[in-house]
Structure 1
Amino acid sequence: MEFDTIAAISTPIGTGGIGIIRISGQNSIEVAGKIIKSKRFNSIYDIPVRYAALVEVYDNDEFIDQAILIKFKAPHSYTGEDVVEIQSHGGMVVLRRILEAVIRNGARHAMPGEFTKRAFLNGRLDLSQAEAIIDIINSKTELLQKNAAKQLKGVLSKKIDEIAEILLNLISSIEASIDFSEHEVDEISPQEIEKSIDTALEKIYRLLKTYETGKAIKSGIYTVIVGRPNVGKSSLLNRLLKEERSIVTDIPGTTRDVIEEVLDIEGIPIILVDTAGVRQTEDVVERIGVERTLKSVERADLVIFMVESDGITKEDIEIFNSIKNKKYIVLVNKTDKGINISQDEIKKLFNKEGIFISIAKDENLELVEKAIKEAVLEQNIEGFDEVLITNLRHKELLLKAKEFLASAKQNLYSVPLDILSIDLKNALDSIYQITGKNVTEDMVDRIFSMFCIGK
């Protein structure tokens, strides 16, 4: 494909050692050649491909900066087009001046994600690989970066292609049975069809099973700490963060607003939320804090429910009833002051065992992090070699494919083959959309609009 020539600053806004202007398109080399001079090469066309050439950059006849210029010839570039990268000093004024000179000489400003969009349209990568680039750029933990790198490498694409191959072979066999029924072509049996559907479904199930874990490492787990006043919620937040983020006093009701901080537990972003203690109160400000606590519980992925080791109160039971339908863990704090409740009683009241801790004495706090990790992960990811589904679009398309295949299996013995193949083709279409082999232009535009300018 041939597109017009685009340009953008590809490095973050701010000052730094270098900044990069990226130019891509059929006239990129010509455009760059109009603003640079070299003492070693007579023109930009004399500079070897992939060679780092020292050049001077000019705006008309005014010198702007010294820079390194590297050119790439299609199709061996990021976008699959002719590409030029100008690496100047990293000040924003100089970068903007170079970009303006490039635009005046025949390029236009690139739209967000347009370089990667061209890479996709030119077959340099598929859609799932393009989406992996967003995750690599936005990675907040090493775990997400590693998973995104696998996806960029094509691990997910390979698994999707395996499912597509099964469905494509199945559809081809069914259509051959229909089209050549009067010839010597072996008709595919219902048992063979069912076996292929089951194989495809099993592969889809395995991918879908990774989504909750993938979502956890990408979006984080919204984890709300709840309990009655002065049970140790703020102290727990401070200990887990290893800093004094929340104010801690012996006065009940000290925390009056929701406080959010992010904790990294072995690569999983845990959005820890310290909340106001839940109780009946006449204090207007504290009452607002309690209302916000209850709203936080509604959106929580995980609730850390805290009680004291000296016994369970009516307030504790009321709080538990408001969170019992959520995923939760139970912490029994202040064991340093004595324990007046047993594990059996905790299990009977709260339907699971509690973790007995002393925040004041730093006892058993390592068990809290372990419990959080075990509560949010659907599978053990230590040494996990497979790619995790982290993208909601992928999940929804896999679910669609699963539904179409389930329908085909259900109707296998009751409908003609040509009707059965409709569900199979719809399933294949859903699978193809993941890698972009069959995707609408609007969807492509929507995906790449989420990129930053310059990528």
Structure 2
Amino acid sequence: MIDQDTIVALATPSGAGAIAVIRLSGKDAITFVESQFKSVSGKELSKQATHTIHLGHIIDEHRIIDEVLVSVFKNPNSYTGENVVEISCHGSNYIQQEIIQLFLRQGCRMATAGEFTLRAFLNGKLDLSQAEAVADLISSDNEASHQIAMQQMRGGFSSEIAKLREELLNFASLIELELDFAEEDVEFADRTQFKDLIERIIFVLKRLIDSFAVGNVIKNGIPVAIVGEPNVGKSTLLNALLNEERAIVSEIAGTTRDTIEDEISIGGVGFRFIDTAGIRDTKDVVESIGIKKTFEKIEQAQVVVYLFESNIILNASEKSQSIKIEIEKIKNKHPQKPLIIVANKIDKLSENAVAVLNKELSVISSASEKSHSLLLSAKQGVGVEELKECLLSFVNTGALRNNDTIVTNSRHYDSLLKAFEEISKVKHGLDSGLSGDLLAIDIRQALYHFGEITGEITNDDLLGNIFANFCIGK
């Protein structure tokens, strides 16, 4: 399945920079580079030890393309398990393309997306879940997602699955052996020990499946919709959270006519804030479209921050009542979605008014376990840190602190669910005294789904789908 040809690709981001790295992998990678490289020391690359770096020039016939550093990694002690050469050249687009085109003319092939990591997997340098973690590590943009990807790339998740699979496989072998001696009516597999193993596997699978809810939001970021009536300070709050002038702030109601999104990291977890158009009745066509998008963003968000002007709620006015009605609508429509009710512009209130407002908010938010209330002044930055802490409390970061395995990959999650279903059938069969031949069918299916995660069970279509999402040089 592994192509024997030598592949080449740019391993650093495309575009001009100080340094670029061009990677080659394959049986003849060192030979290809040696034919176009002149070392300043006069040494031949093929005779040098693995994991060494050499200064010299890449030459096209008699023309010097660039002065480079060439790193040599000989099989099997390389990322791909093949001979690998990495050329560190100057980051000019022209130089990069000249070097790549030179090796293509010599007989190299341009690497496809993720082909270097695919070769590492096929050569046994990584299992499939570790290979997928490489892509997650590259795309990680906050501390939490980076930590999870590093743990999985080191084999934390796959080693846990592999251990369970091995134990289950040992018992499966004994049950299969019983089938060969069916007439003698003997049991090689201790059913008590087998029940204990099944209970342990079920416990681990439940923990891993449950961790996906946390892992998915950590990996993709938590969308937070900031909603409320026009001119209550939504854009000011977004700017305060981001610590930059991201949204236009104006005294004119309806200034924000479309959603504005940006992401920050709070406690190592990514939060994607969405500043929405103010909710009100309007005849303005453009503003109406923005308000429609606001309700769409509430649907998509995992947390809703409802903002209102603090002095309004203190008055028993029609507007005050409409705010309470709007809050109740959000609660009733999204009962499982965390809602943070925020009174803004408290800098305009007296101490007594703030105390009264605090009691009023407690009453409004107490009707739902998912509701929380805060007082702040987005303009003065008062209460913004408390809001960040409240948002972070919605994420179970305890698993991160304890370095527990967290599932972030949808494919792994799907295989775990299927494995859990089959293991549950095995448990039911044991409890019901099911015969060994029928137990063996469900055990084989569970083993199959375990194998899908780590790559013991795979096919070309699956690998194509996984590695197609990688960058070319990885």
**Structure 1 residue 19 displacement after superposition:** 1.8
CA distance in 2, matches of 1:100, 1:125: 30
CA distance in 2, matches of 1:323, 1:81: 58
- Output the amino acid matched with 1:395: Y
Residue 133 of structure 1 aligns to a residue whose secondary structure is helix
Match of 2:322 among 291, 295, 314: 314
**Structure 1 residue 379 displacement after superposition:** 4.4
CA distance in 1, matches of 2:133, 2:4: 24
**Structure 1 residue 30 displacement after superposition:** 1.8
Aligned length: 454
Assess, with a 3 A threshold, how the Cα gap between structure 1 residues 152 and 367 changes in structure 2: closer, same or farther: same
Residue 342 of structure 1 aligns to a residue whose secondary structure is helix
**Structure 1 residue 414 displacement after superposition:** 5.7
Query: Does the aligned pair in 1 maintain the 2:276–2:294 contact within 8 Å?
Result: yes
CA distance in 1, matches of 2:5, 2:175: 44
**Structure 1 residue 199 displacement after superposition:** 0.7
Query: Residues 244-263 of structure 1 correspond to what in structure 2 (within 5 A)?
Result: 244-263=245-264
Query: Residues 241-320 of structure 1 correspond to what in structure 2 (within 5 A)?
Result: 241-309=242-310, 310-311=312-313, 312-318=320-326, 320=328
Match of 2:340 among 299, 314, 329: 329
Q: Is 1:447 matched up with 2:466?
A: yes
Q: Is 1:407 matched up with 2:418?
A: no
**Structure 1 residue 348 displacement after superposition:** 4.7
Residue 171 of structure 1 aligns to a residue whose secondary structure is helix
If the length of structure 2 is used for normalisation, what is the TM-score?
Answer: 0.90
CA distance in 2, matches of 1:364, 1:39: 62
- Output the amino acid matched with 1:335: I
Assess, with a 3 A threshold, how the Cα gap between structure 1 residues 33 and 410 changes in structure 2: closer, same or farther: same
CA distance in 2, matches of 1:36, 1:154: 37
Query: Does the aligned pair in 2 maintain the 1:113–1:452 contact within 8 Å?
Result: yes
Assess, with a 3 A threshold, how the Cα gap between structure 1 residues 2 and 277 changes in structure 2: closer, same or farther: closer
Query: Residues 373-384 of structure 1 correspond to what in structure 2 (within 5 A)?
Result: 373-375=392-394, 377-381=395-399, 383-384=401-402
- Output the amino acid matched with 1:51: T
Query: Residues 47-446 of structure 1 correspond to what in structure 2 (within 5 A)?
Result: 47-182=48-183, 186-188=187-189, 190-309=191-310, 310-311=312-313, 312-318=320-326, 320-322=328-330, 324=332, 325=334, 326-336=337-347, 337=349, 338=353, 339-340=356-357, 342-348=360-366, 352-375=371-394, 377-381=395-399, 383-412=401-430, 413=432, 415-446=434-465
- Output the amino acid matched with 2:346: T
CA distance in 1, matches of 2:219, 2:445: 29
CA distance in 2, matches of 1:353, 1:223: 14
Query: Does the aligned pair in 2 maintain the 1:166–1:200 contact within 8 Å?
Result: no
RMSD of Structure 2 on Structure 1 (CA): 2.2
**Structure 1 residue 149 displacement after superposition:** 1.2
**Structure 1 residue 443 displacement after superposition:** 0.7
CA distance in 2, matches of 1:411, 1:321: 48
CA distance in 1, matches of 2:37, 2:424: 61
Residue equivalent to 2:26: 25
Please state which structure has a larger fraction of its residues in helix. Answer: 2
Query: Does the aligned pair in 1 maintain the 2:240–2:378 contact within 8 Å?
Result: yes
Query: Does the aligned pair in 2 maintain the 1:297–1:323 contact within 8 Å?
Result: no
Query: Does the aligned pair in 1 maintain the 2:144–2:400 contact within 8 Å?
Result: no
Gaps of 5+ in 2: 314-319
Query: Does the aligned pair in 1 maintain the 2:212–2:407 contact within 8 Å?
Result: yes
- Output the amino acid matched with 1:446: N
Assess, with a 3 A threshold, how the Cα gap between structure 1 residues 323 and 255 changes in structure 2: closer, same or farther: farther
- Output the amino acid matched with 2:345: K
Assess, with a 3 A threshold, how the Cα gap between structure 1 residues 360 and 111 changes in structure 2: closer, same or farther: closer
If the length of structure 1 is used for normalisation, what is the TM-score?
Answer: 0.93
CA distance in 1, matches of 2:195, 2:175: 12
Query: Does the aligned pair in 2 maintain the 1:278–1:319 contact within 8 Å?
Result: no
Deviations 1:239-293 (A, max 9, x none): 1111222223333322221111112111111110011111222222221111010
CA distance in 2, matches of 1:260, 1:197: 46
Q: Percent identity?
A: 38
